[in-house]
Amino acid sequence: MDSANVSVPRGLLERFCRRVFETLDLPAEDAEVAAQVLVAADVRGIPSHGVARLSRYVHGLKVGLMRADAVPETLYETPSSLVIHAHGAMGAPVSARTMRRVIQKAAANGAAFGCVRDSNHFGIAGYYAMMALADNMIGIAMTNTAALGVPTFGRLPMFGTNPLAFACPADEEGAFVLDMSTTVVTRGKIEVYDRRGAALPEGWAVDAQGRSGTDAAQILGNLTYQTGGGILPLGGLGETFGGHKGYGLSVMVDILCGVLSGAAFGPAISDTPGSSARVSHFFGAVRIDGFRDPLEFRRDMDRMLRSLRMTPTAEGQPRVYVAGEKEREHEAVCNRDGVPVPRDVYDDLVRIGAACGVELPG
């Protein structure tokens, strides 16, 4: 085991998070989903959205930013769509329930889409998109976030990191699962660099004057206190490497999550030093048999994915990956050897557990 990490079996880590949530009055079913989504991020190699965020969730539940007793309300509904008002509920449970309803509607009508407004951080988008795979469907999930991203040629945050996920089944090959932010990186990734005391790579973020910035603590401070600067859209600075395309994708996610649901969007969504922003989500499911025979489709997906993986590699590179492959391999290792939790994060979890009367194994 890496001495910088503590290995915790997946099931035990999920149980620890679930019991912490239950001590904060989250209903058992919601606590179970929230724990599964949180740990799934670490298991799939996305620690920026994993158990390192438990302290934020605990704080949110304690001070009422995330409401354990919220009763989500259906505002609009048709055979193929719905809009849910979360009333400040935890993001993961209300998102999982909404995606299940979207899948049920798609099963009856071929395709369906749903929005959730006035929600909270929902973890990794891929978790919800992948829910559709078991029903032989294509899954889609998106969320807006607090305004952290700077538009091309701008220097003020005007949209979130706005991640989107797309999951598509194959046959013998693993599913194609694209799970990405529409900015170069997420805020969580910058927080990881800040915890390590490491400089950010050039091209991730800009300072208050719109110049490239590498000081993680300074960038995070600028974002927290809204003094200018922020994370660059996918493609980076300017238009040379397609930054304007990432900018467009970020705004697209904000339209589907915020504008379409009648919720806040853009710079109207902001974190403060003591609170997290309320955000909105968008989900979709599409039946493959509405287009062609599902088995033939999955076999063609196999051919596509294999051809991508088997393409000649660039000099010095060991292999070519497809979206979801690294995450799947990381998950297999975690299921076998335990989830690697950085020592500082583990110590934080121990403190949280002690305060809640829950012991963390390791």
Q: What is the pLDDT of residues 324-348, one digit of tens each?
A: 999 999 999 999 999 999 999 999 9
What is the structure's pLDDT at 23? 97
Q: pTM of the predicted model, to two decimals?
A: 0.94
| Residue 115 CB neighbours (<10 A) | 27
Give residue 7's pLDDT band: very low, low, confident or very high (50, 70, 90).
very high
Counting residues of the chain whose pLDDT is more than 70, the rounded percentage is 98
Residue 142 has pLDDT above 80, yes or no: yes
Q: Is the pLDDT score of 1 beyond 60?
A: no
Of residues 272, 271, 268, the one with CA closest to residue 258: 268
pLDDT of residue 307: 97
Does position 189 have pLDDT exceeding 90, yes or no?
no
- Residue ranges per structural domain of the chain: 5-293+339-356
Predicted local confidence at residue 187, as pLDDT: 85
Least confident of 3-7, 204-208, 305-309: 3-7
At 45-96, the pLDDT tens digits run 999 899 999 999 999 999 999 999 999 999 999 999 999 999 999 999 999 9
User: How many residues in total does the chain contain?
Assistant: 362
Contact 163, 312 (CB under 8 A): no
Q: What is the average pLDDT value for the chain, to the nearest integer?
A: 94
Tens of pLDDT along 92-138?
999 999 999 999 999 999 999 999 999 999 999 999 999 999 999 99
Q: Is the pLDDT of residue 3 over 80?
A: no
The architecture that CATH gives domain 5-293+339-356 is 2-Layer Sandwich (3.30)
Q: Which two tokens stand for residue 66?
A: 């995330």
pLDDT single digits (tens) 25-46:
999 999 999 999 999 999 999 9
Six token digits for residue 214: 């590498």
Res 161 pLDDT > 50: yes
Model confidence at 191, pLDDT cuts 50, 70, 90, reads confident
The mean pLDDT of 160-179, rounded to a whole number, is 97
